[in-house]
Amino acid sequence: MHALLFSSQHYDQESFSQAASGTSVDLHFQPARLTLDTAALAEGYEVVCAFINDELDAQVLQRLAAGGTRLIALRSAGYNHVDLAAARRLGLTVVRVPAYSPHAVAEHAVALILALNRRLHRAYNRTREGDFTLHGLTGFDLHGKTVGVVGTGQIGSAFARIMAGFGCQLLAYDPHPNPELLALGARYLPLAELLREARIISLHCPLNEHTRHLINAHSLARLQPGAMLINTGRGALVDTPALIDALKSGQLGYLGLDVYEEEAQLFFEDRSDLPLQDDVLARLLTFPNVIVTAHQAFLTREALDAIAATTLDNIDRWAAGKPQNLVMG
């Protein structure tokens, strides 16, 4: 079974090569992102293994199917980037990794909260310059603060457990309340009320037609002035220009982003020699109370190993006629 991994980084090569020894899957690593221009590289590969910023729209899927691809094995949990109706029409099976390490993403969200609150990004630079002053670095105790969790599935509940450990009060919003959150003492509220009451809001819901721009100018106006927003979900859960307005007015006091709506052209590449062409991102990066990480929340050793093991198992089972972790439209 020949499989081509688009958007593969050297850490993918390590984890996949290790997990593949002893399986029948013959892996080929392709650093290029999957787009209509690069889809021809998959000619003759029955299996295409794609990551979050690969393009899997109808045209790309059509090109892959014409080249002999039959299985799209996503190395991610999210599948908002796949045209599932087109995949079905073309007879392509799509599988994913529904869970690898919810802890990896939840812990990164907490890392952003702690860094923003205690201004670690500023303190790090300051002490390296020999500046040992503390002005502008005042934080707040997390203990006793109200935290709103939007989406209380695997990652949201791992996040809630950590915040409960800090002594925070938990609010939650999810169409399907999770008993684990209720057991932690969380109160489920309509989104508008959660936004009004929470000092920190963390997004852990999938991106779909109901959640696109869930956080927009209207919802930002409901926040407590100076609230903190963390997004490790998907970039398009938030309307980024509206975030910039809210940061400028002080309505939003802190912003931690691991995802960005226009990240596909930027993230996972070293562009440090080039002028940044994205003016929205450039403006975001000027705020002292904003931290942007380049979609790295998943990036722990445990998560990489689990992604590789589940993806190879997904491929093996599909080849044996017993597919698992199917993505349904």
Nearest Cα to 51, choosing from 27, 79, 16, 70?
Answer: 79
Interior CA angle at 302 toward 122 and 18, to 5°?
A: 125
At closest approach, how far in Å is the CB of 102 from ligand NAD? 6
CA dist., res. 14 & res. 313, Å (int) = 17
Nearest Cα to 171, choosing from 196, 153, 154?
Answer: 196
Question: Is residue 31 at the binding interface for ligand NAD, with CB under 6 A as the rule?
Answer: no
Phi, psi dihedral angles at 202 (to 5 degrees): -125, 130
Question: Is residue 155 at the binding interface for ligand NAD, with CB under 6 A as the rule?
Answer: yes
CA dist., res. 35 & res. 249, Å (int) = 39
In 3-state terms, what secondary structure has residue 171?
A: strand
Which of these is catalytic: 295, 301, 302, 317?
295
Residue whose C-beta lies closest to ligand NAD: 153
Active site (annotated) includes residue 135: no
Active site (annotated) includes residue 210: no
In 3-state terms, what secondary structure has residue 3?
A: strand
Q: Crossing angle for the helix pair 154-165 and 102-117, nearest 10 degrees?
A: 40
For ligand NAD, the closer of residues 298 and 318 by Cβ is: 298
Query: Judged by CB under 6 A, how many residues of this single chain contact ligand NAD?
Result: 30
Question: Is residue 174 at the binding interface for ligand NAD, with CB under 6 A as the rule?
Answer: yes
Question: Is residue 78 at the binding interface for ligand NAD, with CB under 6 A as the rule?
Answer: yes
At closest approach, how far in Å is the CB of 80 from ligand NAD? 7
Per-residue string for binding with ligand NAD, 48-77, x by CB under 6 A?
A: -----------------------------x
CB 168 within 8 A of CB 147: yes
At closest approach, how far in Å is the CB of 54 from ligand NAD? 15
Which of these is catalytic: 107, 234, 262, 269?
234
Q: How many CA atoms lie within 13 A of 188 on its CB side?
A: 14
CA dist., res. 57 & res. 84, Å (int) = 9
For every residue of 191-248, DSSP letters joined together read HHHHHHH-SEEEE-SPPSTTTTTSB-HHHHTTSPTTEEEEE-S-GGGB-HHHHHHHHH
Question: Is residue 159 at the binding interface for ligand NAD, with CB under 6 A as the rule?
Answer: no
In 3-state terms, what secondary structure has residue 27?
A: strand
For ligand NAD, the closer of residues 43 and 269 by Cβ is: 269
Active site (annotated) includes residue 187: no
Only one of the segments 182-190, 198-206, 221-229, 317-325 lies at the binding site for ligand NAD (rule: CB under 6 A); that segment is 198-206
For ligand NAD, the closer of residues 143 and 210 by Cβ is: 210
Question: Is residue 205 at the binding interface for ligand NAD, with CB under 6 A as the rule?
Answer: yes
At closest approach, how far in Å is the CB of 279 from ligand NAD? 24
Question: Is residue 211 at the binding interface for ligand NAD, with CB under 6 A as the rule?
Answer: yes
Question: Is residue 102 at the binding interface for ligand NAD, with CB under 6 A as the rule?
Answer: yes
Q: Annotated active-site positions, please?
A: 234, 263, 295
Q: Which parts of this chain interact with ligand NAD (CB under 6 A)?
A: 77-78, 99, 102, 105, 150-156, 173-176, 204-207, 210-211, 232-234, 258-259, 295, 297-298
